A and B are shown apart, each in its own frame.
Chain A
């Protein structure tokens, strides 16, 4: 099973950029890289996803390494509402699996 490795926790100051890393050395050629976040007492929430190229949306940017064995989620200006557990997930193209790792707990300081 394709797995991801993330730091257990990270801390950031409000209004500063945050780079959340993820290693996925066993990624297959058709696996998409997804990022979700989970706020306390809520279900996970979609953040962004990509296959090979870097991706941007209103919430974040996703930078994917050329060999696809790692990726970085970038929050451009962290706010207190961004404090959550962030999960990096590999999703098989035929959707026979979608595995969350243990995630990174992001703490944002005012």
Chain B
């Protein structure tokens, strides 16, 4: 079975631009979470979606938004990019809730110049 897939693999943007990152969960998984991992630090929780509804939100500005589609795939949008948004963006899927194992994708490396 395919694991969690993310696209694109790498992305280069300039300050002020907008970016959309995509995630496809493991088949049968209804929950998707997004994380930001800055070099040398642990992943920081951004959002969790379950059945197309936002269930959790980390401490990120409103420039960050996400949505989940009927097929349970998800997009993460970041507006007005800042240099500090440069990071690895990880997507994780799970069957449902917090007690379920999360399966992480390989991530999208975003560089903001």
Measured CB to CB, the residues of A under 8 A from B are 32, 36, 42-46, 49, 85, 87, 91-103
Some 21 contacts from A to B, beta carbons below 8 A apart, are A32-B98, A36-B102, A43-B92, A43-B104, A43-B105, A43-B107, A44-B43, A45-B104, A46-B102, A49-B101, A87-B42, A92-B56, A93-B99, A95-B31, A95-B56, A96-B57, A98-B48, A98-B56, A100-B43, A101-B42, A103-B42
Q: How far is the CB of B68 from chain A (nearest CB, A)?
A: 14
Q: Is the CB of A43 within 8 A of B98?
A: no
State whether A100 touches B105 (Cβ < 8 A).
Answer: no
Contact of B45 among A49, A97, A102 (CB under 8 A): A97
Interface presence of B21 (CB below 8 A): no
Central interface residue in A49, A96, A98, A103, by most chain B CB within 10 Å: A98
Size class of B's contact patch? 20 to 34
Q: Which residues of B contact A (CB under 8 A)?
A: 4, 31, 33, 35, 41-45, 48, 50, 55-58, 90, 92, 97-99, 101-107
Residues of chain B lying within 8 A (CB to CB) of residue A95? 31, 48, 50, 55-56, 97-98
Q: In the complex, what distance in Å separates the CA atom of A101 from the CA atom of B44?
A: 8
B97 to chain A, nearest CB (A): 5
Known contacts A43-B92, A43-B107, A103-B42: does B99 contact A98 (CB below 8 Å)? Answer: no
Residue of A nearest to B42 (CB): A100
If the complex has contacts A98-B45, A100-B42, are A93 and B98 also in contact, measured as CB distance less than 8 A? yes
- With the chains together, A92 CA to B43 CA distance in Å? 16
Contacts of A49 in B (CB 8 A): 99, 101
Inter-chain CA distance A50–B99, complex, in Å, is: 9
Give the Cβ gap from A62 to chain B, nearest Cβ, in Å.
14
Which residues of the partner chain B approach A94 to less than 8 Å between Cβ atoms?
Answer: 55-56, 97-98
- Select from chain B the residue with minimum beta-carbon distance to A32: B99
Distance (whole angstroms) from the CB of B111 to the closest CB of chain A: 16
